[in-house]
Amino acid sequence: MLPARSKKRKDLRDVFPNMETSSSLLCDSFSPSEDLYPLQSIDSSNRERDESFSSISTPSISHLDTDETIVKKEVTFVMADSISTTNIIDPEKVVDHTINRTTNDLPRVTPSRSSLGVRKWKLHKGNNRFFCNGRIMVASQSGVFLLTLFLLISTLSLYFVFDAPYLWVNVSPALPIVEALLALFMFGNLFMTTFSDPGILPRAMNDETAEEERKYYERMASETIDSENPNPNRQTVARTIQVTVNGVGMRLKRCQTCQLYRPPRSSHCSICNNCILNFDHHCPWVGNCVGLRNYRYFYFFLLSLCALIISTFGGSLTHIFILSRSMGVLADALRASPLSIVVAVICFFTFFSIICLSSFHSYLVAKNLTTNEDIKGTFSSKRHPPIKNPYSLGFISNCLSRLCSPQTPSLIDRRGFSSGMDEVVVSSRNRSDPSTVSTTGTHSSTFSSVRYTDRV
């Protein structure tokens, strides 16, 4: 009775009945570079098993048919994950039909939400509130924003209910249409300012803070310290580092809350409890900080609100004026449309504050300043010595930079899953080791492409 391996060899003889095969053709590891005429077994165990097949001899060329169809016959060796085809006449010519398994061939396993961990917005340490599973974020104090929303919606509702239909019929349909477009543009910019990330800097993680302190203690161990007169004011890490921005020296402060060195023009908002890139101010009327990522929306909100107030005020006065001409008496016109005068009064008292605020921010855009820098006088000419603004590139360049530059991506992954760490890692450039002396580098576009030099 033949061994188990002889069944495979018998199948091979059935495929090629007019030839004889060597048992070594069926070795588990086949090398096409070996001589097939004659073939020898590769180990002693195979040699012992091959004794029962001594009658099987190696085929010769003369035993094969000369027909081209016979010459082109090929033997297929099936291995674990590959299929190789060998020409009988020329064994050096091996056609590889290896099956490359990719990840697409493997069954896909969708991890459950419980295995992924919690969303990162749930671990956010700032005073922000999140809605729609982290898609929308607002500041903790949103009462004034709700008041703003109420005043805008109520005033516009009165206009479109009492003034717009009369103007559509008696003046022109263009006036209500322009008013509606301005209102949509204004609300869009308001919501983008309120519900978008203003440029929050993620806080340093615990291991990064511990690493900075470890480096500090290593430096202290290498220094000679007078044990009798120790310095009680010595800090674990440097509070500030000196940098150079376009030839102007600036000092980066270390935020004790976020445990990082704030990039230039950044500041910590005490209301939101976050460090904000290009911090302008915290506006309670929009219910959010105004910073690098939402300043353009805030500015366009102010401009569109000014245009909307002018349009609404003009439409209400036009309605009253036409009614007074048709009735002959102004008092009769006011009694006929009393809510038109209410809309006009609201627009009159809010116009001056909004136009002044819009003019102020237009000045800041032209000078490439922030409200925080203007209040503190960071680049004021009255300082001694005066400090030049390293970010000012001219009127046109400043406007394009503040309003038309590509949107900076958010640094906080609100909808990502936590992997057990505290927060998302910020670029190490933001928390560079203060022990580095004369280390030159270039900020990313987030930091207005400034070239800096770190010193202790």
From the candidates 255, 269, 275, 283, which is the catalytic residue?
283
Q: Tell me the C-alpha distance between 402 and 238, whole Å.
A: 32
Residue 401's CB is within 10 A of a number of other CB atoms, namely 17
Tokens of 68: 């081209």
End-to-end CA distance of the chain: 87
Mark whether 289 is an active-site residue. no
Q: Are the C-beta atoms of residues 39 and 22 closer than 8 Å to each other?
A: yes
Q: Tell me the C-alpha distance between 256 and 274, whole Å.
A: 11
Helix (H, G, I), strand (E, B) or coil at 378: coil
Read off the amino acid at residue 298: F
Bridge-based pairing of strands 83-87 and 74-78 is antiparallel
Helix (H, G, I), strand (E, B) or coil at 244: strand
Residue 17's CB is within 10 A of a number of other CB atoms, namely 6
Nearest Cα to Cα of residue 246 among 268, 262, 264, 261: 264
Question: What residues are annotated to the active site?
Answer: 283
